[in-house]
Amino acid sequence: MFLLVAIFNLALPKGGIMIYRFPLTWGYLLIAVVGAMASIAVIRKRNLQIAPIIQTFGLFLPLAVIVYYKAVHYNLPSVGWIPFAVIFGLFPILILIAIGPQLERIRAADMARAIRPMIRFAVAWGLMNFFLFILTREIIEIPYLTVNIGDVGEVLSKNNLRSGGLMKLVSTYNNGNIFGACMVMIMPLYLYFEHRKIWRALFIVAIILTLSRTAWFSMTAAFIMMALAGQIRLNRAGVWISAAAAVCVLLVLLPVMGWSSANLIDDRLGGRLTYLQDLKLSFFGADRINIPEVVYFGLLQSFGLFGLVISLCALGFGAGFGIMHWQQLSRLRQAAVVGVLAYLAAATMDGAMLYPPVFPIFLFLNALIYRRGYVPVADHSAGITPRSASRASGLVPAPLR
């Protein structure tokens, strides 16, 4: 089941159908099914931690309540509030509360075997279509798998074209900014799992070819945080060679797109600062809910100052928990913390929060932060807790107190 969730949320995240103007992806459907099954295990074993409960019921769920209140009070159309209720209400319960504890029954090596080929596929598919478009002005789409049936033939119209005859590398995510946000977010985890240098290099090149300044900025921020976390060793020549190669690729792309170095720093954030013209500060927010590219602006506009504080606490709770217990975390969990921080950096420009599979990946990384270690199913049946088994097996550092 974990493998299926990885396939349809990492390799084929947009595959699915349309139901009443709502895109239903196979990945989201699997999360619902697996979450429902995992809920039974949680009820039976009562294997819960305080931290994800606080993040879910104390922070995310109040946002869902606010969404529902606004929907009823202002008579909002379903398309205007249901997606927000799902990401703030349903997904945290399914992923953090139900699925999260089950991650302790999956070995890190098996996670790698599931995640690594999915990211490789997404990178390879994206590179293929990127260069195919340059040669033929066409891309390959597979309805129901690489693209939602309702979006067939629409990928090029989703703000994916750049000057110079280039298209953003969109892979199976159908949008360069969404692909960039997801890959940067999962980059610390993927580079932890991936040991082949060629795939590491192609992964970085794919992010650069998104032609997204948000992806470039957040990738740079992620690299800095990975270096501070010790995941990247700056005393290795390969690191500097890779960085120089990435800069060279960027320098080649800029003149092709007709950009100068000044275009790298857009003081209007690609036109997104126009949102500020409509901003009206209030305590509880506007009479509608809208979270555009700049996530923090959307949260302030939609939920007001009160809701913004709750939102920031909800989004940053997992990373804060990880930083507070940093020395006690395994390298896997540390990579998850950096991934969450990378997304929080991307959200300052374009967080693509509402679009599949951004928020489920974000919550999955949060769930990994809380994962205390691997415990075989037999040990669960015998009543051995994840905490004691992890410590005894030496798989993770001493337990959190």
**pLDDT (tens digit per residue) in 76-125:** 888 888 999 999 999 999 999 999 999 999 999 999 999 999 999 999 99
- CA separation for the pair 146, 348 (Å, rounded): 28
Pair 47, 101: CB distance under 8 Å: yes
- CA separation for the pair 106, 115 (Å, rounded): 12
- CA separation for the pair 337, 73 (Å, rounded): 37
* 16 phi and psi angles, rounded to 5 deg: 160, -160
Q: Is the dihedral of CA 361, 367, 369, 373 positive or negative?
A: negative
Sequential pLDDT tens for the chain (401 residues)? 999 999 999 999 999 998 877 889 999 999 999 999 999 988 888 778 899 999 999 999 999 999 999 998 888 888 888 999 999 999 999 999 999 999 999 999 999 999 999 999 999 999 999 999 999 999 999 999 999 998 888 888 888 888 777 899 999 999 999 999 999 999 999 999 999 999 999 999 999 999 988 899 999 999 999 999 888 887 776 677 777 777 777 777 777 776 666 566 655 555 555 656 666 777 787 788 888 778 998 899 889 899 999 999 999 999 999 999 999 999 999 999 999 999 999 998 888 899 999 999 999 999 999 998 877 765 555 454 554 444 433 333 333 33
116-132: burial string, b at 16+ Cβ within 10 Å, e else: bbbbbbbbebbbebbee
CB-neighbour burial class of residue 237 (10 A; exposed 0-12, middle 13-18, buried 19+): exposed
Q: What is the pLDDT of residues 250-304, one digit of tens each?
A: 777 777 776 666 566 655 555 555 656 666 777 787 788 888 778 998 899 889 8
- CA separation for the pair 122, 307 (Å, rounded): 35
Cα 63 from chain centroid (whole Å): 19
Q: What residue type is assigned to position 295 of the chain?
A: V
Reduced to 3 states (helix: H, G, I; strand: E, B; else coil), residue 17 is strand
Reduced to 3 states (helix: H, G, I; strand: E, B; else coil), residue 18 is strand
The predicted pLDDT at position 395 comes to 37
What count of other Cβ atoms lies within 10 Å of the Cβ of residue 398? 10
Residue-wise DSSP of 185-250: HHHHHHHHH---HHHHHHHHHHHHTT--HHHHHHHHHHHHHHHHTTSS-TT-HHHHHHHHHHHHHH
